[in-house]
């Protein structure tokens, strides 16, 4: 059964405006804002990053991208990249766990210092979650399940944000907790690139429609050939777009590493000069 009319550029002003996603976004903004008010000091830049993350999430889920995310696989991949590689890094830059620690109660601090959060925020957990989540949600029957049930679809969107946040919080190294060397952060990010490349290529080279549900969800006039072509396009978006965004994320990480090494070199030179060496 056809769900929508075929997309055209005249549809750019369409909005999804789902009640649950909007309530979740508004709730997240409210909680963050209350945390900022309770914190003794909190950088304005981090609040700006969080606001931008909410804006990107809203556009990815409620704009025309959200209207067609289950009709066109290519559109779904654009949404996926916006959530996990744009919104999630912005949330990582906003350091929400540090804000919770700063503004929260003793019970919250105890929880954040506990074994569970230490495990979840560990670099290996963040990398492993990203490594598993991407192919799991795009190369298995879970994708069909998402198309059949709206609540699974919403969980998938939340999963993109959570997994992306856990991954990029390690890459940026802003928040408290286990940190890896600034130089290794580049290796950490680059090591995840093959995940998107493999998944994108697998979809791009598929000889048949791997998601039968698209036969009933695709817009009016879609054929098996056009559906497969759109899946190939989605695979290319994940492959090329995902790799490009990962490389883009490496730029601030590399800049921060160079600045840190420069400061460390100056400090070491000063120490050697003080010792007359």
Higher-confidence residue of 70 and 193: namely: 193
Could you tell me if 61 and 21 are in contact, meaning their C-beta atoms sit under 8 angstroms apart?
yes
Query: 91 CB contacts (<8 Å, ≥6 apart)?
Result: 49, 50, 53, 161, 164, 165
**Reported confidence tier of residue 215, pLDDT bands at 50, 70, 90:** confident
Please work out, in degrees rounded to the nearest 5, the angle formed at the alpha carbon of residue 130 by the alpha carbons of 127 and 132: 110
pLDDT of residue 148: 86
Specify the DSSP class assigned to residue 81. H
Q: Name which of 125, 133, 135 is nearest 155 in CA terms.
A: 133
Length of the chain: 277
**Reported confidence tier of residue 1, pLDDT bands at 50, 70, 90:** very low
Helix, strand, coil: what percent of the chain each, to 5?
75, 0, 25
pLDDT of residue 118: 94
Q: Give the H/E segment covering residue 50.
A: helix 44-62
Could you tell me if 170 and 186 are in contact, meaning their C-beta atoms sit under 8 angstroms apart?
no
Could you tell me if 233 and 177 are in contact, meaning their C-beta atoms sit under 8 angstroms apart?
no
| Gap between the Cα atoms of 162 and 64, Å rounded | 23
**What average pLDDT does the chain have?**
89
pLDDT of residue 44: 95
- Reading the block at residue 23, the tokens are 């309530």
Burial class (CB in 10 A: 0-12, 13-18, 19+), 94: buried
pLDDT of residue 126: 95
Could you tell me if 228 and 214 are in contact, meaning their C-beta atoms sit under 8 angstroms apart?
no
Low-confidence winner among 2-16, 18-32, 87-101, 108-122 (lowest mean pLDDT): 2-16
- What integer is the mean pLDDT of 183-189? 93
CA 64 distance to own-chain centroid? 19
**Where exactly are the structural domains of the chain?**
9-274
For the cut 50, the answer to whether the pLDDT of residue 257 exceeds it is yes
**Reported confidence tier of residue 2, pLDDT bands at 50, 70, 90:** very low
For the cut 70, the answer to whether the pLDDT of residue 5 exceeds it is no
- What integer is the mean pLDDT of 228-255? 93
Query: 269 CB contacts (<8 Å, ≥6 apart)?
Result: none
Count of CB atoms situated within 10 Å of the CB of 37: 9
Task: Report the chain's C-alpha Rg in angstroms.
Answer: 21
pTM (2 d.p.): 0.90
pLDDT of residue 189: 95
**Reported confidence tier of residue 277, pLDDT bands at 50, 70, 90:** low
């Amino acid at each position: 059964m056809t769900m929508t009319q075929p997309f055209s550029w005249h549809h750019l002003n369409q909005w999804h405006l789902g009640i649950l996603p909007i309530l979740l976004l508004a709730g997240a903004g409210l909680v963050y804002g209350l945390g900022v008010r309770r914190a003794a000091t909190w950088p304005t830049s981090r609040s700006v990053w969080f606001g931008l993350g909410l804006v990107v999430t809203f556009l990815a889920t409620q704009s025309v991208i959200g209207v067609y995310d289950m009709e066109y696989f290519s559109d779904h991949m654009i949404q996926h990249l916006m959530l996990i590689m744009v919104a999630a890094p912005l949330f990582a830059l906003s350091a929400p766990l540090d804000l919770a620690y700063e503004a929260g109660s003793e019970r919250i601090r105890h929880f954040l210092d506990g074994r569970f959060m230490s495990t979840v925020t560990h670099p290996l957990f963040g990398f492993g979650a990203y490594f598993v989540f991407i192919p799991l949600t795009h190369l298995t029957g879970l994708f069909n399940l998402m198309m059949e049930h709206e609540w699974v679809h919403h969980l998938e969107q939340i999963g993109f944000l959570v997994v992306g946040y856990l991954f990029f919080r390690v890459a940026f190294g802003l928040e408290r907790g286990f940190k890896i060397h600034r130089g290794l952060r580049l290796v950490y990010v680059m090591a995840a690139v093959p995940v998107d490349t493999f998944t994108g290529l697998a979809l791009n080279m598929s000889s048949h429609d791997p998601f039968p549900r698209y036969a009933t969800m695709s817009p009016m006039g879609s054929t098996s050939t056009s559906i497969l072509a759109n899946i190939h396009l989605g695979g290319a978006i994940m492959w090329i777009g995902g790799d490009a965004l990962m490389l883009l994320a490496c730029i601030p990480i590399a800049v921060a590493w160079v600045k840190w090494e420069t400061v460390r070199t100056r400090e070491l030179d000063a120490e050697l000069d003080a010792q007359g060496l």
